[in-house]
Amino acid sequence: MPTIQRRKTTRRRKGPARPLLAAAGLALAVWGGLALLNSREAPPPAAEETTGITLVIDGTAPVIPQVLLDLAERNPETQAFVEHYPGRGDGEIDISGDYVPGEIPHFLQWDQRWGYLPYGGDRPEDMIGLSGCGPTALAMVAVGLTGNLDYHPAAVAEYAAENGYATREDGTAWTLMSQGCAAFGLTAQEVPLWEQSIIDALAQGPIICAVGAGDFTDSGHFFVITAYENGAFRILDPNSISNSERTWTYAELSPQIRAMWVYSAAG
């Protein structure tokens, strides 16, 4: 039986230290997003004090990458995902429990069923869990409108990477939303960036929204807009449960919106 000890490693930071994550596996890093024409969420500016955990097993001390610790620190919802890295990565992906006919399912890019899989590169950060907001958002729309349970985030991410819609350098291209969606039985139409245009488009189907820096990301991100209720929009954020449990006004969203597409199932 290997001897396991935990050793803390620290870096200096301005401001109070945050609670740390005790991890029980090897390590990795991940992020999600987009950047103007393409999309990838950049990591936040380097903090000046973060405490990491070194896992010591029989004298070997692999250090958990700081980007993974940063992920859990800035988004506590991801703690189980980080703790269970690298996951199993085997077996079929079953999303039957997520699908309700007539509804758009909420998939999270850091779901353990697919979050550890590579997306557009071979670095730790090139994983669906942090870089895959684009294919995860498209998977929500594809499954919701077609009922095809094969269109889960891992399948969409694989298609995007193999067909030039995702690269290590640029993240997810907007053309995945406007053109690549056809591979999943969808047609897309660009939506003007006005409140009434969004409301009118929602009468046709769900909308994928590309946003820049703001409430959702430091550089770029994709999420799904599903409804307009009492003067605000309901969204499904592939990187956040809490963002999806509240509504967002147009005044909140509009400074961040970069592009939008409304979807329908191909005839």
pLDDT by residue for the chain (267 residues), tens only, comes to 333 333 333 333 334 333 333 333 333 333 344 333 444 444 444 433 333 444 443 444 345 677 778 889 989 999 998 888 877 766 789 999 999 999 999 999 999 999 989 998 888 788 899 899 999 999 999 999 999 999 999 999 999 999 999 977 778 999 999 999 999 999 999 999 999 999 999 999 999 999 999 999 888 999 999 999 999 999 999 999 999 999 999 999 999 999 999 999 997
d(CA 21, CA 24): 10
* pTM confidence score: 0.78
Tokens matching residue 128: 């669906």
Which CA distances in Å does 102 have to 69, 119, 139, 226? 38, 29, 15, 12
Residues 6+ positions from 187 with CB-CB distance below 8 Å: 181, 263, 264, 265, 266
d(CA 135, CA 180): 10
Which CA distances in Å does 5 have to 22, 72, 75? 12, 21, 26
